[in-house]
Structure 1
Amino acid sequence: MRVLATLTSGTKLRYHIASLSNSTYCSLFHVFSLGVFVVSVNHYTVCVLHPYLGNTSFLSSFAPVCVTPRFIPRYAYSKPVILKGFSDNTKFQFLCSKSSLLQQYGERMVRLSTANTYSYRKVDVRFEEFVDLLLRPQSMDTLGSDTLYFFGDNNFTEWHSLFENYKAPRYMLPHTTGAYSFGIAGPGTGVPFHWHGPGYSEVIYGRKRWFLYPPDKAPHFHPNYTTLSWVKDTYPYLLEEKPIECTIRPGEVLYFPDRWWHATLNLDTSVFISTFLG
């Protein structure tokens, strides 16, 4: 059995978040580490996300399962699940290095969206300009509606040579096809709570923190505030409905069912790709 991270107590977590200031918010990234225990099952590993129980902190009991016969009936329509070891994206990771992407796509235009729940505003910039000037840590004082975020809105003709090297999760829901959304974001950035159809999210570089609620438990949040501000100002004071949480690292894939509320927080400069099923 291999331990991927260390359990963090809720008391210590709340203390650190409450003590954050604009100049010290990066300490958040050292505090947020969810313990995940994984067990190999025929060279594949799976961890089921568990919700909080009352005032209990992170649960340490993650059930290993054999996904091949059980994914559809047990997870596809009812609960998120972390998949690990289902595909080897080593080549795709190499192609997603900063130097490789700048060499291949530096002069291409990319479309950025605001990092709020509804993402109405779109801005087109050269990819090199985005990397050099806009790929920065999230400011605690900036609204999500004023933060530009590179995720989705990809030109599939221009990015085809990259996407054709990605090995997507093999499990599809009946009568659906997958559509890719590729992104790169700085530490502290993310998208506040929203929901859409089912899909997968894989981290290629960095770490991405997820907060999830089932469809019938809408979280309390402001659609124009950043996830970082929610973590600092709202998360420590949640008394009852705690989110389901996890941190996804390179080689790990999170499956999220239809209409599940979720917010994301990039703990590092992160490269990631989602497969939306529709």
Structure 2
Amino acid sequence: MGYRDSLVNVSGTVRFSVGPVEMRLEDYFRYSYQVKEERPLYLFDPKFSQKVPILGSEFEVPVYFREDLFNPNSTSAWNAVIKGSKKWVLFPPDVVPPGVHLSPDGAEVACPVSIIEWFMNFYGSTKNWKKRPIECICKAGEVIFVPNGWWHLVINLEESIAITQNYVSRRNLLIVLDFLKRPNASTLVSGTRDRVNLHDKFKNAIEASFPGTIDQLMQKAEEKKAEEKKPSFWDSVTDSKVEAFKFSF
């Protein structure tokens, strides 16, 4: 029995999110056999482990990513390939990928129609950039970490199955809080229908589950800023207010 048959037997009549619709796995596999369009429907269901618990019981979150405080936007993410292979192209936050255009407030992002279009029309130009993107191919059994704020594009090089999760740890908690303070945060957040007053709701949830964490992180951030403002040894000895050193003879 192939992996498709096994998944179909386990899933039965459960319907998964496939773009704007829901489909049984058997129907999705039938669709994938025949599809020829440039932008095929992509099966991506964040609740797969709730819908089919046995699937959720067969994987564990990698130890590096188990400190998950919450899950709104501006988070980091990890992606583990179960079957197949994926090509990743990542740009740091300060390098907007070619072909991508941001609105002044960052609320809207205009991109090429499809991933294939981006590769055909823009990918080649990055080869001549001084600050080139990071590229890699992840195969079955491999995991990639995507830091918050990094632009990323991924394309399946073959039929692939992967598990991905966004997460917030203490390392990027304050970044997420700052993101949710933005006036247009409600228009930028995805993955939830409850977008009203997200900053306060998120902060209250963290304080309820991890009391004192935010205050501790803010204190450490202030201490780090203060440390960075301290003059170096060289600055202190060359300060104009300090009497100049003179040779004696």
TM-score by length of 2: 0.55
Corresponding residue number in structure 1 for 2:113: 225
CA distance in 1, matches of 2:46, 2:165: 13
Corresponding residue number in structure 1 for 2:3: 97
Corresponding residue number in structure 2 for 1:263: 153
Q: Rg larger in 1 or in 2? A: 2
Inter-CA distance 178–273: structure 2 relative to 1 (3 Å threshold): farther
CA distance in 1, matches of 2:57, 2:43: 20
Contact 1:210–1:265, Cα closer than 8 Å, also in 2:
yes
Structure 2: which amino acid aligns with 1:227? I
Inter-CA distance 175–133: structure 2 relative to 1 (3 Å threshold): closer
- Which digits, 9 at most, give the CA deviation of each residue in 1:141-188, with x for residues without a partner? x3x4xx311113434422221011102210137562589xxxxxxxxx
Corresponding residue number in structure 2 for 1:21: none
- The percentage of aligned residue pairs carrying the same residue is 25
Alignment of 1:152 with 2:57, yes or no, is no
Structure 1: runs of 5+ lacking an equivalent: 1-93, 114-121, 180-194
- Which digits, 9 at most, give the CA deviation of each residue in 1:80-123, with x for residues without a partner? xxxxxxxxxxxxxx9x921210111142111112xxxxxxxx11
Corresponding residue number in structure 2 for 1:13: none
Following superposition of structure 1 onto structure 2, how do residues 16-95 of structure 1 map, counting pairs within 5 Å?
Answer: none
Report the alpha carbon displacement of residue 138 of structure 1 after superposing the two structures with TM: 6.1
Structure 1: which amino acid aligns with 2:114? T
Contact 2:13–2:24, Cα closer than 8 Å, also in 1:
yes
Q: Which secondary structure does the structure 1 equivalent of 2:55 belong to? A: helix
Residue 143 of structure 2, aligned match among 253, 274, 277? 253
Corresponding residue number in structure 2 for 1:236: 124
Alignment of 1:108 with 2:14, yes or no, is yes
Inter-CA distance 269–137: structure 2 relative to 1 (3 Å threshold): farther
Alignment of 1:163 with 2:53, yes or no, is no
Residue 131 of structure 1, aligned match among 23, 29, 49? 29
CA distance in 1, matches of 2:68, 2:42: 31
Normalized per residue, the structure richer in strand is: 1
CA distance in 2, matches of 1:265, 1:138: 16
TM-score by length of 1: 0.50
Contact 1:196–1:260, Cα closer than 8 Å, also in 2:
no
Question: What do you get for the CA RMSD once the two structures are aligned?
Answer: 2.7
Structure 2: which amino acid aligns with 1:111? S
- Which digits, 9 at most, give the CA deviation of each residue in 1:112-138, with x for residues without a partner? 12xxxxxxxx11122211111135666
Report the alpha carbon displacement of residue 227 of structure 1 after superposing the two structures with TM: 1.4
Inter-CA distance 133–206: structure 2 relative to 1 (3 Å threshold): same
Q: How many correspondences in the alignment? A: 156
CA distance in 2, matches of 1:254, 1:136: 30
